[in-house]
C-alpha cells in the first residue's frame, strides 16, 4: 500500500511555524517511503474561510518546496458527507440532541460538583418519536452526536506515543453536526481520510482524544483506520506555549530574511534528538526521518537558533540559487567572497556597496597616513596578480616592518571603511586596482 499523508489546514488565517512543522513532517514521511503527500483544505466553515487564505497556504507550501501530490477541498465534498452521514444514521450511529450550550454547561458543572467526569449523559437517546416530532413542530433543530460503542475498548499503537488506551465509557459522544447543518471537524475528516486513501495521520498531541473517537468512526464507516502518530507541540524558547508561535507566519519570516532551507532544516529535527544539520537537503532530511526519534517532551522553537541556521544555510547557497536576489552586477566571484559574512541574503547589497564604493574610511594618525601612502605607491607599481592582496601585504611587511593587526587593519579600513568583513584576498580583486589605489590615497589624505 502506498504511504499517503495529508496536511489539512483551515483557511481562516495564515500558516504559522507550528502548522508548517506538521506539513513538513507529513511531507517527509511520505517522501521517505516514496508515497504521496496531499493537501486538504478544511473549509467547511463557510463564514470564516477565506479564499485569500487558501492562496496563501498554497504559496507558503510552494515557497518551502512542499508541493502536494494532490489537493481536495471539503467544501466540494458535502454530497459525500451527506451519503455517509445517512448510512450512519440508518445504522443508529448518530443521534439527534437538543440541549443548548447553557444546558450542557450546567450538566457539566453538576457532574464536576459530584466529583464525576463531565460526560454527556445521553439524555437525547431517551427521547421518543413523539418527542422529536414535538420539538420539530416547535421549530427546534437538533444537533447530532456520534454514538460511541461502550462495549468496544479503544486502543492503538501510536507511532510516537506508543500504546494508547481509552475507555469509551469515560468519553462524551462527540458532536459531529450542528443544528444549522454545518459540520464539525471529526466526522468529515474521517470520511475524507477513507476516500483519499490516507494511510498515515501525523498530527499534534492535542488530537489524541479526537483519534480515540475517530477510530470508532472508521469502524462504523466500514473502513480500516490509518496509522496515527501524535507529536509534541511546539513551545517557545522559554519552554512555554507562546502566542508568538501562533502569529509567526511565513511572510514575517521572509521579511526577516529567513530562507526556506533554514526553516526546513530546523523544523525537520525539532522534537527529536537528531542534530540540526544545515548541510542536509530535503531529500536527505526525508531519508533520515524516523518517527521513533521523536520524544514526548515539548519541542522548543528558538528564533535565535533559526537565524543561526539561516546564516549557515546562506554560507552554502550557490550563486544560481541566489542570483535573482542579489544587487545588479554582482558576480559569482563577489557572492563567493561575501557570503561567509552574511546572516541573510539581503545583507549582500550592503557588502556590494563596499565593493562598488564610495566608502568612508576613518580618520588616521599621521604615521598611519604615511603607511597608507606607501601602500598606494606599492600597489601602483605592483604587478596585478590573482593573489594581489598577499603580494601587496608581503611587500608592505618588508618595507614598513609592520605585522599582524598593524599591517592589515589600516588597509582594510581604508579600502572598505570597515574593521572586519570578507577575506581581503577575495575582496581586493573585486574592488579593482585603480579603485583600490584611489581609496588608499584618499585615506592617506
Give per-residue pLDDT as tens, 260-306. Answer: 999 999 999 999 989 999 999 999 999 999 999 999 998 999 999 99
Average pLDDT over residues 398-424: 96
Listed in sequence order, the DSSP H helices in 270-331 are: 282-287, 303-314, 319-322
pLDDT at 237: 77
Does residue 442 surpass a pLDDT of 80? yes
CATH class of 1-72+232-316: alpha beta
Query: Are 81-177 and 357-444 the same fold in CATH?
Result: no
- 107-111, 212-216, 236-240, 304-308: least confident range: 236-240
Task: Give every strand in the sheet of 36-41, ordered side by side.
Answer: 4-7, 36-41, 70-73
Q: What is the mean pLDDT of residues 410-433?
A: 96
**What does the pLDDT read at residue 243?**
66
User: Can you give the pTM of this predicted structure?
Assistant: 0.90
| Architecture per CATH, 357-444 | Orthogonal Bundle (1.10)
pLDDT higher than 80, residue 113: yes
Backbone angles phi, psi at 142, to 5 degrees: -85, 155
Domain edges within the chain: 1-72+232-316, 81-177, 319-355, 357-444
Please compute the mean of the pLDDT values over residues 105-120 and round it to a whole number: 95
Percent of the chain with pLDDT over 70: 99
CATH number for the domain running over 81-177: 3.90.800.10
3-state secondary structure 42-80: CCCCCCCCCHHHHHHHHHHHHHHCCCCCEEEEHHHCHHH
Report the pLDDT value the prediction gives residue 238, as an integer from 0 to 100: 73
Task: Give me the percent of the chain exceeding a pLDDT of 90.
Answer: 93
User: What are the pLDDT digits (tens) for 123-169?
Assistant: 999 999 999 999 999 999 999 999 999 999 999 999 999 999 999 99
Is residue 403's pLDDT more than 80?
A: yes
Handedness of CA 368, 371, 372, 373 (dihedral sign): positive
Amino acid at each position: 500500500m502506498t504511504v499517503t499523508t495529508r496536511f489539512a489546514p483551515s483557511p481562516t488565517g495564515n500558516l504559522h511555524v507550528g502548522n508548517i512543522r506538521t506539513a513538513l513532517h507529513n511531507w517527509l514521511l511520505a517522501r521517505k517511503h516514496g508515497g504521496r503527500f496531499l493537501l486538504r483544505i478544511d473549509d467547511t466553515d463557510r463564514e470564516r474561510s477565506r479564499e485569500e487564505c487558501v492562496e496563501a497556504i498554497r504559496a507558503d507550501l510552494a515557497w518551502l518546496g512542499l508541493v502536494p501530490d494532490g489537493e481536495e477541498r471539503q467544501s466540494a465534498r458535502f454530497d459525500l458527507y451527506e451519503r455517509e452521514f445517512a448510512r450512519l444514521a440508518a445504522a443508529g450511529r448518530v443521534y439527534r440532541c437538543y440541549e443548548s450550550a447553557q444546558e450542557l454547561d450546567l450538566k457539566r458543572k453538576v457532574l464536576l460538583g459530584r466529583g464525576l467526569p463531565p460526560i454527556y449523559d445521553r439524555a437525547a437517546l431517551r427521547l421518543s418519536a413523539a418527542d422529536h416530532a414535538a420539538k420539530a413542530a416547535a421549530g427546534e433543530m437538533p444537533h447530532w452526536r456520534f454514538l460511541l460503542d461502550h462495549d468496544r475498548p479503544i486502543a492503538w499503537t501510536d507511532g510516537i506515543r506508543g500504546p494508547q488506551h481509552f475507555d469509551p465509557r469515560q468519553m462524551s459522544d462527540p458532536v459531529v453536526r450542528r443544528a444549522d447543518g454545518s459540520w464539525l471537524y471529526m466526522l468529515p475528516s474521517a470520511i475524507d481520510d477513507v476516500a483519499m486513501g490516507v494511510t498515515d495521520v501525523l498530527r499534534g498531541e492535542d488530537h489524541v482524544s479526537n483519534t480515540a473517537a475517530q477510530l470508532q468512526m472508521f469502524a462504523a464507516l466500514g473502513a480500516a483506520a490509518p496509522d496515527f502518530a501524535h507529536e509534541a507541540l511546539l513551545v517557545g524558547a522559554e519552554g512555554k506555549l507562546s502566542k508568538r508561535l501562533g502569529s509567526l507566519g511565513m511572510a514575517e519570516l521572509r521579511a526577516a530574511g529567513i530562507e526556506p532551507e533554514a526553516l526546513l532544516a530546523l523544523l525537520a529535527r525539532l522534537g527529536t534528538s537528531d542534530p540540526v544539520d544545515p548541510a542536509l537537503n530535503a531529500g536527505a532530511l526525508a531519508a533520515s526521518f524516523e518517527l521513533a526519534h521523536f520524544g514526548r517532551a515539548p519541542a522548543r522553537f528558538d528564533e535565535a537558533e533559526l537565524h543561526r541556521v539561516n546564516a549557515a544555510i546562506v554560507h552554502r547557497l550557490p550563486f544560481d540559487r541566489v542570483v535573482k536576489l542579489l544587487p545588479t552586477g554582482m558576480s559569482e566571484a563577489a557572492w563567493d567572497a561575501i557570503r561567509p559574512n552574511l546572516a541573510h541574503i539581503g545583507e549582500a547589497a550592503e557588502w556590494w556597496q563596499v565593493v562598488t564604493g564610495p566608502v568612508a574610511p576613518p580618520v588616521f594618525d599621521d604615521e598611519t597616513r604615511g603607511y597608507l601612502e606607501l601602500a598606494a605607491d606599492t600597489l601602483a607599481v605592483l604587478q596585478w596578480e590573482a593573489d594581489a592582496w598577499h603580494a601587496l601585504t608581503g611587500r608592505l611587511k618588508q618595507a614598513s616592518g609592520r605585522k599582524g593587526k598593524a599591517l592589515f587593519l589600516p588597509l582594510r579600513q581604508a579600502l572598505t571603511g570597515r574593521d572586519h568583513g570578507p577575506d581581503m584576498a577575495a575582496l581586493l580583486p573585486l574592488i579593482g586596482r585603480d579603485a583600490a589605489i584611489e581609496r588608499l590615497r584618499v585615506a592617506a589624505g
